[in-house]
Amino acid sequence: MKITAVRIHNLASIVDAEIDFTQAPLKDAGLFAITGDTGAGKSTFLDAICLALYTKTARLKGDKGNLIDFNGDSIKLNDARNLLRRGKWEGFAEVDFVGQDKHLYRARYSIQRTHKKVTGKLKVAEHTLVTLPDETLIADKSQTLKQIESKIGLSFEQFSRAVLLAQHEFAAFLKATGDERAQLLECLTGTDKFSLIGKRIFERNKELKDKFDLLQASLSSYTLLSEDELAIKHTTLNELKQQIEDTKKTLISTEQNLNWYKQASALELALEEATKSQQHATNELTKIAQQSEQAKQAQSALEIKDNRKRHEYLTAQNNTLNKQISDLKNINHATLIEKQAEALKTKQSELKTAQEQKHSAEPIIAKARELDSQLAIHAQSITSLTQQSDKEQQQLSELQIQFKHSQTVLDEATKLNTLHQQWLTEHTQLKPLANDWNYYQHSFNTYLSANEQIKATASQSKQLLEEQTKHATQLADQTKKVELQEQQLAHQQKDLNQLSEQLRQFNIEQCDSKLKNIEYLNDQRLRYQQFNQEIKHSSQQQATVAAKLVNSEQTQTTLQQSLASCEQALKHSEYALNQARLRASENVEHLRTQLIPNEPCVVCGAKEHPYASSQSPQLINLIADFEASYNQAKQLHDSAQTKLHQHQTQHAVLVTEHAQHSQAIQSAQAKQLEIKTTMQGTRTELNDLTAQQLDETHAQLSNQKSHYFESQKQQSALQEKVNQQTNALKAEQQTQQQLHNLNSELTNKLSQLDTKHAELTSQISDLTTTLNAQFEHSNFWQQLQSGALNLNDLSQQVEQYQHTYAQLEQSQKQIDTANQQIQQLTPLITKSESALKTLKDDLDNAQQLQNTTQSERLALFNNEQISVNDYQTKINAQLEQCQAQLTNSQQTYDNAVKKRDEHAIELKNAELRLAEQSTELKTLEERYNDWFSDFKAQYSEATHEQITILLTLSSEQIKAHLTQFEQLTAALTDANAALKQQQSAHTDHQNTNKPSQNHAELSEQLTALNTKQTEQQNSLLTINTAIEQHNQNAKALEGKQTELATLKKRVEQWHLLNKVLGDATGKTMRNLAQTQTLKILLHYANSHLKTLNKRYELTAIAQSLDIAIIDRDMADEQRSVNTLSGGESFLVSLALALGLASLSSNKVQINSLFIDEGFGTLDSETLSVAMDALDSLQAQGRKVGVISHVSEMSERVATQVHVSKQSGGYSTIEVL
């Protein structure tokens, strides 16, 4: 991870800044310093990096306060939006960086106020991540942080400890807890697999243990038969098979005898049905006798039907022609022609008037065109003068504004110049300081620092003496405290031993076994009750199916009878069809060809021969009707047969359901018997208890088990207390040893303070002599010595003097510039005013001339505002309209004359058609009268009205009536034949062998045999089920026991592994692995620490992630890191940070490191050593940024990012 650029806009004191590490001089510098005065905004640079990457900063992350109203916004004090610069509505922090995948990214954190106003409410901050250079958006909102963490490889906490060491948190990693160190080391080294392994060990152990318990509990559900029981069941099974075979033979014989009665009943029903069919056919034939007679008359009347239709058509045509002739004779064409002639003369007069108007308008149009040309010239002149006038007016206004502005600048600059000169005169004594302030500031700072150090040295000496006395008292108290804690530890160890003995005496496995037995017993009782419910439900279902079977047998008998009836009808239809086809055979056709009209037939004697023609349609239709009757009978037969087959299938389904319910009852009874047998085989004292007693026993055992686990928790808690007490005792003993060491250390420090006091006294004397030579009579020097004035105030006064002097020079430049501009603008304004007046006069003259010409043009058209082209178009339109109207009038006159001639021809044609059709109508009436005389001779009662009614019947209706008569005649013949056949079949069946038993006796016998067969089959199923269940249980039990033995070994292995390495979070395995990583890290850190400070060495406390310090100057004494002083903590933390950077190169490559403060606690020699260590990082390709006020550091680092405070509360950033 490497930062390549940082951009800041309106954050804290920085308005706009960009620091690009890819450009010189930062590109070539591995070490750079971030310098500036206190409060200038150096740390804001690090805040911007944190904001852009993680949306929070190291300085604000610890504040977790509630919402408050702050500057009009209801936000927390630790909200990063507080960094938005006051008086600004937007701000952002932007960081370009190289991720772990070597790709370039840009992270941006922006803040805005609503409505883009300073007074608006703060919006929710926006956080985005894009790729470079194409700026493709990767993530925004909540997803951005996750993406950045994955690209960098560090969370915010890890980033602040490995990359960014902020103020007050320089020793964060050094003083972190063991878990925090483990998490950071795991991320940096990519060893998160150890945490996953620890969690997987825990999960796998739990899975196997649950599986083992479940498998062990399932063994009790398998029961086996004894050898004697198994032999008895095999013998019984063979006997039942033989009994079932005998019952089946008897059952078949009984069913055959019952079928005789069923067939007799079916034949009786068929005989009754045939009698009804014969009577029905006779009745139907009687009903249509009159209708068939009318159809025969209608067939004879068909030959006159065309005559009557033609007669009706011609009558309607004659009525229409009479009306047409009357209408034509009533039209007066002479009057219409005369009226159109008068209209034609009027239009010719209007056309002549329009032509005269056009000729008189030509001189007016010419004059109007001349005036339009003059008006166009005037308008162009006015437009040009107006534009020139506006332009000149604009130039004059601009010159006046510039003159006014220059005058204002001159007045303000003169006023400021006077104030600055007055202030500089009052502070003349600051002038030598302002000329060389850096030198004098360093001298004053050294003088004041030495005075402070003398005071501090005296205070420290006094404090050390007091501490030495205090530590002696603490050492005595600490000795007593150690003895008291040893006594408390012995008492707690005794209580722990007693509780462990109580837990050892309680048998938790026996308690678990009893609980499982109670749960198993309750489960078996519940199953037994469930089987009772199943038996009851199956019995009810079996009774319902039995009732359905009785109904099904009755329906099947009915369907069989219907099928027999359909078969008889099919035979009759087939016979009738064959007879019809026989009549149409070749021999019969030959005889028909010899028939003579109105001569008797040699076969039947009839004089009418309807089938005489070889192509008689009546014969063909009759055969078709018989075929249709046969097909219909066959469809009815097939349908009855299909219904019977479907019903037989449904009947078989009901039989199967009845057997299934019987089997279900037997199965439930067998399972109940199995439960009873199992309960008797594993009988204990628990079997004699009621359900309530079992629940009470279960509750009692559960309470004992809960008490056991509670005691275990107490044991763990007490063990924890013993461990804590032991650790506390060790800590107190360590404190006791530390107090001994402190006494020796205080003696050495007192000696060092005396030496340092003498050196400081000499340094102050030399500085006082030098400064008195220049500022002995200056007020500020006397105030500095007395403490009435501090160096920061003096620095501000000097800066103000420098700033005021610069402003004096700037105001003088403004005065000179303003005077020069006023002198240049005065003649230009006068010239512009004169030119503007001339242009306005010319414009007034041009507008007056335009108005005169416009009035003259309006007078030409009677003050009508109209263009010449529109006027000319209007005249031409009137002329064209008159011409069009004349043409239309002429056309109307010609059409009237033409229509008169056409009507005369149409009248003559209509009179001729009327005469022809009247003649034809008379002929048709004569032919009808002749036919009616012949028809009446055949049917004496016939009338003209009846003929009209007969002619309304269509050929299809006549044919249908005749066909129906023939079909009913044939049906009567068939019904008579069917009745005779059924009577014969019934007589034949009665003469066959009749069973000796009646139908009721046979039915009872069949029911008894079915019941017996069902019982035998149920017994057979029960015995088969018991034998099969025994075989399955024996095989399954063998496999389960083998599986249980194998699983037990695996459970023991994983239990041991989980006890050593596993836990739910993977913490145990992670910490164990990171203990080794910490040792490697301390190896890297110690290599850097040797360069920084040879006195100390870092070491890891055995079997933990805690860090201690070995003091080489105190006989390799091991100390806590909390005992280090500020400067020592800084050096050790710096060594750890450098070690982390070296260690992280394996997984997370860190090429940027920022250090905020901390160097001020080092003396000059140690500071030099620290700088050498930072310089060495450049060889590794890392960039290190250091923020500090230490002047020696600033002098040694050539490349600097300088933050300068400016007036107005803002700062600027410059790369030096």
Q: Which two tokens stand for residue 1167?
A: 């500071």
Do the bridges between strand 1107-1111 and strand 1117-1120 make them parallel or antiparallel, or are there none, so unpaired?
antiparallel
* Spans of all domains in the chain: 1-153+1148-1216, 200-282+977-1047, 553-672
141 contacts: CB under 8 Å, gap ≥ 6: 126, 127
Partnered with residue 1098 across adjacent β-strands are 1109
Q: Are 270 and 564 in contact (CB under 8 A)?
A: yes
Q: Which among 375, 74, 37, 20 has a CA at the least distance from the CA of 1204?
A: 37
Place of tokens 């220049």: 774
pLDDT the model gives residue 607 = 59
Q: Where are the alpha helices (DSSP H) in 427-507?
A: 431-435, 437-505
| Cα dihedral 230/231/233/238 (nearest 10) | 140
Q: Which two tokens stand for residue 304?
A: 């006159």
Q: Are 1168 and 1159 in contact (CB under 8 A)?
A: no
Q: Are 91 and 118 in contact (CB under 8 A)?
A: no
474 contacts: CB under 8 Å, gap ≥ 6: 739
Inter-CA distances, 259 with 226, 650, 999, 1012, Å: 49, 20, 10, 21
**Nearest-angstrom CA–CA distance, 1096 and 913:** 145
Rg (CA), the chain: 64
What are the phi and psi torsion angles at 1064 (to 5°)?
A: -65, -30
Helix, strand or coil, per DSSP, at residue 1171: helix
Q: How many CB atoms lie within 10 A of CB 973?
A: 15
pLDDT the model gives residue 439 = 72
pLDDT the model gives residue 574 = 75
Helix or strand (DSSP H, E) at 127: strand 126-131
pLDDT the model gives residue 777 = 73
pLDDT the model gives residue 107 = 94
Q: Which CATH class is domain 1-153+1148-1216?
A: alpha beta
DSSP letters for 651-674 = HHHHHHHHHHHHHHHHHHHHHHHH
1173 contacts: CB under 8 Å, gap ≥ 6: 1088, 1091, 1092, 1134, 1135, 1138
Chunked into runs of 10 residues, the chain (1216 residues) has average pLDDT values of 90 88 84 82 86 83 54 69 83 92 92 86 90 87 86 79 58 72 72 85 87 76 76 85 83 78 80 84 80 76 79 84 82 77 80 79 79 81 84 84 84 85 80 74 77 81 79 78 78 76 71 75 76 81 80 81 79 71 54 62 58 55 72 81 76 77 81 74 69 78 77 77 78 76 75 77 78 74 76 80 81 83 82 82 82 79 76 81 84 81 81 83 83 80 78 80 80 82 78 77 83 82 79 81 86 87 85 85 84 84 83 84 76 77 64 71 69 68 77 75 80 86
DSSP class of 113: B
pLDDT the model gives residue 1025 = 76
Partnered with residue 55 across adjacent β-strands are none
3-state percent helix, strand, coil for the chain, nearest multiple of 5:
75, 10, 15
Helix, strand or coil, per DSSP, at residue 22: coil
pLDDT the model gives residue 174 = 72
Q: Are 808 and 420 in contact (CB under 8 A)?
A: yes
